[in-house]
Structure 1
Amino acid sequence: MEKPLSREVSNKHKVRSAEVGTDILKALAELSPSTSLSNLAEHVQMPASKVHRYLQALIASGFAQQDQVTNHYALGREALMVGLAALASMDVLKVAAVPLAELRDALNESCFLAVWANKGATVVQLQQASRAVTLVTKVGSVLPLLSSATGLTFAAYLPEAETRQLREHELQADCNHPLADSTRYQQHLQQVREQGLHAVHGMLMPGVDALSAPVFDAYGRVAAVLTVVGSARVFDADEAGMAAERVRQTAEAISWRMGYVKS
């Protein structure tokens, strides 16, 4: 009969083996599309002989593969299937919920998340600040493309074909809009992309400023826009300020959780 201590040692060994295998899989992903045994061993800081043993087990289970010409190793089909399943389960609303609340607490300003829907930038999640502030939006609100930080951030990262009709519609109602000129509009969007966020001061509602930053998915597409709004009297919406940096960091953290890797 096996002694309890022996079973405990065996279980610990299995856990450690699983951890090593996971580390090697992560390394294969980081060194993709493929890598040599020596580079892989150096990356995980393990002896090549040990890495080789684990690779053989991963190959047998379909989680790794070896090129017969170069002898380099790469992730296998089963790893791809796991990755695709993980991506399919990534819901930006769930991923952003906690970071959005933490951002609200850090800045004590109202924060919301918007996604691009058939009518434009639509608010889908809202964290209200504890202090009283007149909000310009609520869950379900559709924000303008040209007159909101959220809308212009979407415009900066979405394909132009997706926003062209809405822009034309808004310009029909306000042909004197500051961004009516196409050249100026494109320059404005380029500036948003260079800064990684956008600020507006009293554009949508007098006395209310906003900061917006994009959230990307694993394919590098804009999945949502994170926005903070507050009274111009107390909220520093300067694009070089502390609040702007915190908004950038939060959007980047959500993007990372969504599988986005910044190039």
Structure 2
Amino acid sequence: MIDSKNSNTTNQSTVAAFAILEEMAQHSEDSRVTDIAAALGMPRTRVFRYLQTLVQLGYVRQDPATDRYRLTLKLFHLGQAIADGTQLTSVARPVMAALRDAVGQTVTLSIPEQDGMRVIDIVRVETPVQIVTKPGALLSLHASAQGKIALAWGDPMYRARIQAAFAADEVALQGRDMIWLDAEIAHARKTCWAVAPEETLPGVNAISAPIFDKDGHLAATITIVGSVLHIAPDPSEHYIASVLGAAREISTDLGLMEYPV
């Protein structure tokens, strides 16, 4: 729900417009005004006005046959232009491509945010099992390889928030508990890699490693993603060495003097 008590009218409009875009981005199917309004706790007429403005700006398209709305690629291209100009993605992309070719699996780059790991770049490989994760997807901290790396190497408050959410039944650990998660965190801290077999997507596993900036802070993760048939819960030494080598190379390019392992 949008909280507008402490915002002026201009800021309210900006916050509402971005909230609508973010809500639509979470769904692959076209969106109805009623559904967006209900999800955001906004009046239907207000949502309709903002959608019409976003249509005029080219960020949203309305299907004349169904009157439903979908995002255009304008935001994607804007985000891609920003990503292409950052040091992280420009440094990481050739390493990601080399890693993909070395292991024959899709490779992703993600950055930590308050509520999870945001995928900002993907280098795909054509396989019978296609990874449906898209740039912009937000992966959970407690049920993704990237999230476990963040819990091990990122802000200490990450774990506190997960524990509080778990205690309040706001997140599910898929039948596991904090003892299990703490063991996963400890392993990621010791080895610099983590896996999440079928935790994010059925039939899919991922092995992730941390990328550090010049000051030794977690900047991102690089991750190999593929079928559980190829990336086992106990991954091969080839996958482990490859993802760690890629993470070490990018970290060095960002100015890190010594990688932890």
**Structure 1 length normalisation: TM-score?**
0.60
Relative distance call for 1:235 and 1:189 in structure 2 (3 A) is: closer
- Partner residue of 2:121? 125
Relative distance call for 1:237 and 1:124 in structure 2 (3 A) is: same
In 2, Cα distance between equivalents of 1:252 and 1:99: 10
Tell me which amino acid in the other structure corresponds to 1:139: P
Tell me which amino acid in the other structure corresponds to 2:234: D
Relative distance call for 1:177 and 1:250 in structure 2 (3 A) is: same
In 2, Cα distance between equivalents of 1:131 and 1:219: 38
Structure 2 unaligned runs (5+)? 1-84
Relative distance call for 1:200 and 1:193 in structure 2 (3 A) is: same
In 1, Cα distance between equivalents of 2:214 and 2:173: 38
The answer as to 2:89 corresponding to 1:96 is no
The answer as to 2:227 corresponding to 1:231 is yes
Query: Of residues 238, 246, 250 in structure 1, which corresponds to 2:246?
Result: 250
Provide, for residues 188-211 of structure 1, a one-character-per-residue CA deviation record: whole Å limited to 9, x for no partner.
212111111011222222211110
Query: Of residues 212, 217, 228 in structure 1, which corresponds to 2:213?
Result: 217
Q: How does 1:16-35 map to 2 (within 5 A)?
A: none
Give the stretch that moved more between structures: 196-205 or 237-246.
Answer: 237-246
Q: In terms of Rg, which structure is larger?
A: 1
**Which SS does the other structure have where 1:173 is aligned?**
coil
Structure 1 unaligned runs (5+)? 1-88
- Partner residue of 1:107? 103
Relative distance call for 1:129 and 1:173 in structure 2 (3 A) is: same
Provide the aligned C-alpha RMSD in A.
2.3
Tell me which amino acid in the other structure corresponds to 1:96: A
8 A Cα contact 1:211 1:237, kept in partner: no
How many residues get paired? 174
Give the share of equivalent positions with the same residue, in percent.
25
- Partner residue of 1:206? 202
Deviation at 1:234, TM superposition (A): 2.9
